[in-house]
Chain A
Amino acid sequence: MIDRRLLTNIDWMLIGLMTAICLLGIMNIYSATTPYKIVGAPYYLKQFYWVLFGLLVVTVICSFDYHILEDFSYWFYGFLIILLVAVLVVGRRSMGATRWLSLGFFNVQPSELMKVVIIATFAKYFTNVQTVNGLSVKDVLFPLGILAVPVLLIMKQPDLGTAVLVLLIALSLAVYVGLRWSTVVTFALVMVPMLWLGWAKLLRPYQKNRILDFLNPERSRLGSGYHIIQSKIAVGSGGVFGKGFVKGTQSQLRFLPEQHTDFAFSVFAEEWGFIGCLVLIVLYLVLVLWGLNIARRCNDRFGSLLAVGVTAMLFWHIVINMGMVIGLFPVVGVPLPFFSYGGTSMITSMVGIGILQNISMRRFMF
């Protein structure tokens, strides 16, 4: 399956960007968790192992032709819906939400996998849709159904962050395929009452609070607004050059909550300042643009859609996480790809890179 042509076509740009961000991430986790060192849990080492495991995942994915995704995407989709239902029925509860499915020796989070599967499903569907003038209202009804089922199941867990991400990824794909203006207007008219209903009926009080706190962080200085305020102080006090590695007072004094996971970027911003942020953001920007470039170069419609979907997934993770840390978005608990501590996030992002690499390697295979 892997012939020499594939090896010579390895996308080093992709691998290089990803590795650079991973290394910055590990370094940052080292700093963010120094106050915890007494626990004797070397988070940065664990993260390093996750990166290695992730590279293995990338290799495995590359060894298959991505077109098998086209054949199996609906099957994956169905299987994951069953898993999402199973989560609600027998899932493991932690912190008031049921997201995990215990498979004996390890736990999986089906909602995380759903991000990738929705990309493949949408890519397959749109590959076969006539779109000369863009998608009509009729064209989007079926994908909308495909989307609604997992999104509602994920919101039920409840995992607002993932639900929003799945929505955004699907929306990005639809925009890429092209939407008629009439479609956009129709949906805008339908969405307004839907949003109102969703706010009134679906959102949990704590989720509403997070959104209200985001609009006005002073609302609950010690509640959910605390995260945003502390994070902004950390980022802002970093200045141009930052306070230096392992010298961030905000993080080192543990004023910041969840500093190695969702708020890892705020530690980084405090210690490396605007210059450091600039470097990191440029790395991410180039990564996202490179992903789009892979989509552009790919002459096969399914591959191109797949690449745009994966890129959209990475892009929204980056924008929402950074936006949240610097107070532009509500705190929804979305990790920063390759940077935040955590195995699940690392594997999802690596699967994305694997798919991009897969497409990039096979661009001359027609």
Chain B
Amino acid sequence: MKEQRFVREISESKRRILILSFVVGGIFFLLLLRLWHLQILSVDDYRNMSESNRLRFVPVAASRGAIMDRNGTVLVSNQPSFSLAVVPQEVENKDELLDHLATLLGMDRAELSERWEKGKGRAKYYPIILASNISRDQVEIVEENHLRLPGVEIEMKPVREYASGVLAAHLLGYIGEISEDELSAKGFEEYNPGDYLGKNGIERSWEKELHGNDGGRQLEVDARGRVLRTISESYPTVGNSVVLTIDARIQKQAEKAFGDQAGAAVAMDVNTGEVLAFVSNPGFDPALFSGKMPADTWKEYLDDKRHPLENKALTGQYPPGSTFKIITALAGLEDGKIDGNTSVNCNGSYELGTSTFKCWNKHGHGVTNLKKSLRESCDVYFYQLGERLGVDRIAAMAKRFMLGSPMGIGLAHEKAGLIPTAEWKLKRFGKRWLHGETVPVSIGQGYVLMTPIQLVSMIATVANEGNVYRPYLVKRIVDADGRPLREFKPELMGTTGISADKFKLVKQGLFAVVNEPGGTGGAARLSDVHVAGKTGSSQVVKLRDSKQATPYQYRDHALFVAFAPYEKPEIAVAVIVEHGEHGGSAAAPIAGRILRAWFDSKKPPKKEPARRLKNQDEEGTDEEAEPPAKQQGVNEEKADD
């Protein structure tokens, strides 16, 4: 029985093998049929496609557009850089050629062969770069000896040159090789590996304009990949140039004014929003980012406590300190809580519940009205005002100035700052707003954060009495020949809706800050132009009063916002000196120098008599254009809040 089954299985499996053989044969036949279809029926189509594969496309990189300041001064341009390349398959005797090159050009023979070895893994028709950035003399020698150097080519590629060194490094940004992520990202379809593009600042934001279009040559190659002839050639189109609103002279003075101090400054045209200077100090050398960055320089940048790689003007969010009193004051005026005569008695501190809030002047300011409170930066006045207003009314006023969200200056990563409200706290921390928390907010401490861009916008809005212009950096785009392509116009983001007389009251206070005895911002005073401003200093950490020197990173930030001329404002400026401690002594002088540079740039060589502003004052309208007579200096020590 078992035997029988075995035999039956054997014969059954033999039958199956036969069937499988036919199946196998059938499938192989299908393969042949397909090959027949490809190789015999469609051979002509595929031959054609194969022929067109013989055309090789060699891209030619476009030259990047330049970046200029508002007066046409070139800040970033391109410099051609030459490299020595060799196409291996055209070289008959490698050693002979390398010997030859070494002696002709005075190069290191060992280095040449090292470069050669490195390029060996690729196709033979693909040029190997033997030396990059060779001199023009060397280029000429190669050209002269062209016939004796088969396979040797000179490749030219444009290299970014930063005419002004580290000037405005954060604003301009730098370029670098395209990354893997960028290559696969949307919007970068046109780019190839190895391409350079803007990585930061203007270089990045205006990449599409600056980049230009790569050209290329269609070459016919033979079966060995040798170039037979050029079929067609498309020339690269040079990128467009970007003309900034920046004035290089002011920018330079501003950077100089910072010296070694860390911080940011933004200067803006109060009537347009054009940014005239955009400083983040210390800067860096953008050329190092597009070329080779020495490891120790990189480490130096990273280790520097002043964070040179951070764009403080764009991403720095600081408590505005007393400069925020402008907002609190306007909120009080608008809400009818105060007028120009409302007075408060400051005895050096303010009690609210169980807490005591100190004024920066522990002796107290005595009877203080709005103007005096701004001039001497009396904290108690604003504590009381803030407490009466409540946080949401202060925030509402800040919102009218478009604070608390990015200004849209046109650079990536701009920060929003922060204007706290009761609702915000509930959402963020799940806790109710406490009455006592409004008190520090009213003097720009607590949760309030502003960027330097917002600071300058705030003071500009005060200067022009209510118009919030979007700060912008690019004036126009021009083509390679300098013909304008696009012009950018001022953009009014909104108005505050506050009446001029209320602004006047605040502005009088700001005038007093700079020009009156007891004012905290005297260091920003100019001899021939009336400056108005507000000092500030913002706590970095709360420290117990101690007589020891505070370590650098715990010192207060120094702030100063200003506009000028007082009578007919043109320019606004905001300065932050990180850990500079006192706005009046650290930030105000820098603001003064920036304003000085602006007025100097406006009226070239001819010297004007300093008394000129007398006339201007008379032209100015009635009431408070003429600075009021000096008030008694409440305290004689150098005032800075």
Contacts and interface: CB of A to CB of B under 8 A. Distances in A.
A295 B10 contact: no
Nearest to B28: A285
Contact of A249 (B14, B21, B25, B50): B50
A54 B522 CA distance: 92
Contact of B39 (A236, A299, A323, A327): A236
B124 A38 contact: yes
Contacts of A308: 17, 20
Contacts of A269: 35, 39
A274 B31 CA distance: 11
Interface stretch (B142-150, B221-229, B235-243, B291-299): B221-229
Contacts of A301: 9-10, 13
A288 to B, nearest CB: 5
A239 B25 contact: no
A326 interface: yes
Nearest to B42: A236
B163 interface: no
Contacts of A250: 50, 53
Contact-residue size bin, chain B (C-beta under 8 Å from the other chain): 35 or more
Interface stretch (A12-20, A67-75, A99-107, A227-235): A227-235
Contacts of A319: 27-28, 31
Interface in A300-359: 301, 304, 308, 315, 319, 322-323, 326-328
Given A253-B53, A269-B35, A281-B28, A236 B45 contact: yes
Contacts of A323: 31, 34
Given A176-B20, A292-B20, A304-B13, A236 B43 contact: yes
Nearest to A236: B46
A133 to B, nearest CB: 11
Given A292-B21, A323-B31, A274 B50 contact: no
B8 to A, nearest CB: 7
Contacts of B25: 285, 289
A326 B35 contact: yes
A132 B17 contact: no
B47 A326 contact: no
A285 B8 contact: no
Interface centre among A233, A234, A247, A315, by most chain B C-beta atoms within 10 angstroms, is A233
B134 interface: no
A230 to B, nearest CB: 8
Prevailing SS type, chain A contact patch: helix
Nearest to B34: A326
Interface string B9-46: 11011101110110011011001101110111011011
B106 interface: no
B21 A289 contact: yes
B583 to A, nearest CB: 56
Nearest to B39: A274
A216 B413 CA distance: 41
Contact of B17 (A254, A255, A278, A292): A292
A25 interface: no
A293 B221 CA distance: 50
Contact of B12 (A178, A236, A249): A178
A251 B282 CA distance: 55
B88 interface: yes
A233 B53 contact: yes
A158 interface: no
A209 interface: no
B393 interface: no
A205 to B, nearest CB: 13
Contacts of A327: 34, 38
A284 interface: yes
Interface string A71-106: 000000000000000000000000000000000000
A175 B19 CA distance: 11
A326 B31 contact: yes
Interface string B606-628: 00000000000000000000000
Nearest to B124: A38
B121 A39 contact: yes
Interface string B209-249: 00000000000010111000000000000000000000000
B54 interface: yes
A296 interface: yes
A239 B54 contact: no
B123 A254 contact: yes
B5 interface: yes
A59 interface: no
B24 A247 contact: no
Contacts of A240: 39-40, 43
B120 interface: yes
Contacts of A232: 38, 46
B49 interface: yes
A277 interface: yes
Nearest to B16: A176
B507 to A, nearest CB: 62
A296 B39 CA distance: 36
A315 B38 CA distance: 22
Contacts of A285: 24-25, 28
A299 B13 CA distance: 10
B223 A247 contact: yes
A238 interface: yes
A124 to B, nearest CB: 16
A309 to B, nearest CB: 12
Contacts of A235: 35, 38-39, 46
Interface string B82-122: 00000010000000000000000000000000000000111
A35 B124 contact: yes
Given A176-B13, A274-B40, A326-B34, A233 B50 contact: yes
Contacts of B24: 285, 288-289, 292, 315
A110 interface: no
Contacts of B45: 236
Interface string B37-75: 011101101110110011010000000000000000000
A237 interface: yes
Contacts of A236: 38-39, 42-43, 45-47, 49-50
A233 B49 CA distance: 7
Given A292-B21, A319-B31, A273 B16 contact: no
Given A38-B120, A252-B223, A277 B39 contact: yes
Given A39-B121, A252-B224, A289-B25, A237 B50 contact: yes
A131 interface: yes
Contacts of B36: 274
Given A38-B88, A253-B54, A296-B17, A237 B49 contact: yes
B40 A239 contact: yes
B45 to A, nearest CB: 7
Contacts of A131: 9
B256 to A, nearest CB: 51
Contacts of A247: 223
A319 B34 CA distance: 12
Nearest 5 interchain pairs by C-beta: A236-B46, A237-B50, A236-B38, A296-B17, A237-B46
Interface of A: 35, 38-40, 131-132, 175-176, 178, 230, 232-240, 247, 249-250, 252-255, 269, 273-274, 277-278, 281, 284-285, 288-289, 292-293, 295-296, 299, 301, 304, 308, 315, 319, 322-323, 326-328
Given A38-B121, A239-B47, A254-B225, 4 more contacts: A39-B120, A234-B50, A253-B54, A253-B56
8 contacts: A35-B124, A236-B46, A237-B46, A273-B39, A278-B32, A281-B31, A285-B25, A289-B21
Interface of B: 5, 8-10, 12-14, 16-18, 20-21, 24-25, 27-28, 31-32, 34-36, 38-40, 42-43, 45-47, 49-50, 53-54, 56, 88, 120-124, 221, 223-225
